[in-house]
Amino acid sequence: MTAAEARRDELPVVETEVLVVGAGPTGLMAAVVLGRAGVPAVVIDHKAGPTRESRALAVQARTMEIYDQLGLSAQVIADAFDATTMQIGDAPSGRLDISTAQVGDTAFPGVRIFEQSRNERLLYGTLTEAGSDVLWEHRLVDLVDRTDDADGRISALVEGPDGLLRIVARWCIGADGASSSVRRQLDLRFEGVTDDATFWVADLRDVRGVPESSMALTFGARTFAVAFPLGPNGHTRLISLAPHDAVTQEQAMASAHDDLGLTVGTVEWFSTYRVHHRVASAFRVRSVFLAGDAAHVHSPVGGQGMNTGLQDAHNLALLLADVCHGRVTEAALDRYARERRPVALHLVHVTDRAFGVIGRRNPLIALFRKRLSAIMAVVAPRLLSTALGARLTGLLGQYRIRYAFNADGGGTPAWADNPTVGRRLPPADDNGADVRSLTWQLHTYGAGTVPRPDVPEWVEGPIAHRADPRGRLRSNRMYLIRPDEFVAAAIPLRHDGPDPAAVRAALAAHDVRAENLL
């Protein structure tokens, strides 16, 4: 042992199951879910407390479903400002009713404007009410992963107001933002590009020229902007292509007036940035994971970033809980990157392509934007009323994400040959109330009384529901639901009950421990 290692071993030690680095929305969501699932966690953050700036704004439908599972959706609804429509250009025909297109597919259609600071306060309050807290003003200095050794652990050197300490954990979640120190400790690449054009963002009062309670895309001769309603009386977030680099607040407001035709009152917050489209080269290295902006960053215009991070945390925390409680093997941890990294890659590629076309300061591109907006104002409302429109708004709401099942060998097993497998459980017969227990469950829909198959005791059910009127959940199947509300399997029902071989195969494919396979 070196002298440095000896001094390190003499430091105060905090032991836990999971170290969460970063107390933004992603890190706080991970901590809340881990706590609900009975897994000890320690959260550190270099900041002095929760974020005060609004930053990210939109809470999409899938995130609302997660908040509902945690019993927090009513608080979001009470404090959020609803944005159910999107206005494209100036023509009345350009109003898109997102909420209507999502009705029936989610219990929370539309978009809630619930700023990052409010998400953090909600999650931090939930965490402290449960008796936990965050080690504020604590900075990660070093991270050593010895979990490949027998009884090995992760050892983190952390610097706080009272000096250095060690945190020893079984796993670590890096949720510490785009400049992640955890990602740097892992020496992972942050692959992607940064757009050349500069954008500005501002929270404004008394804005005139955009709809009062709708999101809006507005186009000028040189630039364009996306408007998000923050509240009544013109309280608005504007994100706009800057007329030139190094734009000042005064120049940005002049551009909003002269090019976009907007009247602006008080400026509450202003910043400039360049759009990054980047994904970490890996989401997991041994017992260390990346989530949220530490793992992926992209344009904020679609209101997807914070939601994707919150869903990363939800997925990962429940997976770690299953491993911690001995339900599934360590091999199941590969599932996190297999499921969540493709989501991030798809989102980054879509926004990268879109901004590669429209996010430029070029007269021809500006003319193209104007003409495209006129076409979309006519076409988009019609498209929204079709099945394709429902799929597109489902992707916007992030409840149409599908995790691919990787079967060993060729072909799809009978229990995976169903459109619901890999998707979050469609709402039917108040089944959202069932999943609030954060447990594995068996559901049937319109099948009557079905005998319980040989499954581990920690799998609840079968819970009998009425038939799904939309036919998404079939009466000839028994559905295995994961704690994160995703459908793990659709087991064929025979005359004497669920197919035993399909049950065993589905559980084995999800890495359920052999001793739990009856």
Cα dist from 163 to 13, 49, 157, 180, whole Å: 12, 18, 10, 22
Cα gap 64→376, rounded to integer Å: 28
Q: Which amino acid is residue 241, in one-letter code?
A: L
Q: Which residue has the tokens 């079984």?
A: 170
Decide if pLDDT at 6 tops 60: no
Sheet with 487-494, strands from edge to edge, namely 459-465, 440-445, 477-481, 487-494, 497-498
Phi, psi for 317 (deg, rounded to 5): -60, -40
Q: pLDDT by residue (tens digit) across 266-283?
A: 999 999 988 888 999 999
Domain with CATH 3.50.50.60 in the chain: 3-57+115-189+281-350
Per the CB < 8 A criterion, the answer to whether 196 and 298 are in contact is: no
User: Considering only CA atoms, which of 398, 506, 399, 517 is closest in space to residue 442?
Assistant: 506
Bridge-based pairing of strands 497-498 and 171-174 is unpaired
Residue 506 has pLDDT above 60, yes or no: yes
Strands 497-498, 487-494: pairing is antiparallel
First to last CA, the chain: 47
- Cβ atoms < 10 Å from Cβ of 359: 21
Residue ranges of the chain assigned to CATH 3.30.70.2450: 192-277
What fold is seen in the domain 414-516?
A: Glutaredoxin (3.40.30)
327, 456 Cβ separation under 8 angstroms: yes
The conformation of residue 266, written as its DSSP 8-state character, comes to -
Cα-based distances in Å from 266 to 172, 214, 239: 43, 20, 16
8 Å CB contact between 321 and 328: no
Q: According to DSSP H, which parts of 148-271 are helical?
A: 181-186, 249-258
Query: Looking at the predicted structure, is the pLDDT value of residue 16 above 80?
Result: yes
Q: 177-191 in b/e burial notation, b at 16+ Cβ within 10 A?
A: beebbbbebbebebe
The DSSP 8-state label assigned to residue 229 in this structure reads E
Torsion region of 321: left, alpha or beta (phi above 0 gives left; psi -120 to 50 gives alpha): alpha
Cβ–Cβ contacts within 10 Å for residue 480, how many? Answer: 28
Per-residue pLDDT band for 515 (boundaries 50, 70, 90) equals: confident
pLDDT, one tens digit per residue, over 435-484 is 999 999 999 999 999 999 999 999 998 999 999 999 999 999 999 999 99
As a whole number, mean pLDDT of residues 52-67 equals 88
Distance between CA atoms of residues 404 and 491, nearest Å: 17
SS3 491: strand
Give the list of residues 6+ apart from residue 508 with CB closer than 8 angstroms, or none. 517
Span(s) in the chain for CATH 3.40.30.120:
414-516
CATH 3.40.50.800 assigned to domain 192-277? The reply is no
DSSP states of 89-137 as a string? SSSGGGEEEHHHHHBTTBSS-SEEE--HHHHHHHHHHHHHHTT--EEET
Per-residue pLDDT, averaged over 13-28, amounts to 97
Q: What average pLDDT does this structure show over 155-163?
A: 96
pLDDT (mean) for 174-191:
96
Looking at residue 3, what is its pLDDT?
42
d(CA 278, CA 294): 10
- CA neighbor of 177 nearest in space, from 163, 190, 193: 190
Helices (H) and strands (E) counted in the chain, each on its own, are 13, 26
Per-residue pLDDT tens over the stretch 382-404? 877 788 888 888 888 899 999 98
Contacts of 69 (CB under 8 A, 6+ apart): 432, 435, 436, 438, 485
pLDDT of 288 higher than 80 = yes
**Domain 3-57+115-189+281-350 falls under CATH 3.50.50.60:** yes
Among residues 96, 342, 367, the alpha carbon closest in space to that of 220 is found at: 367
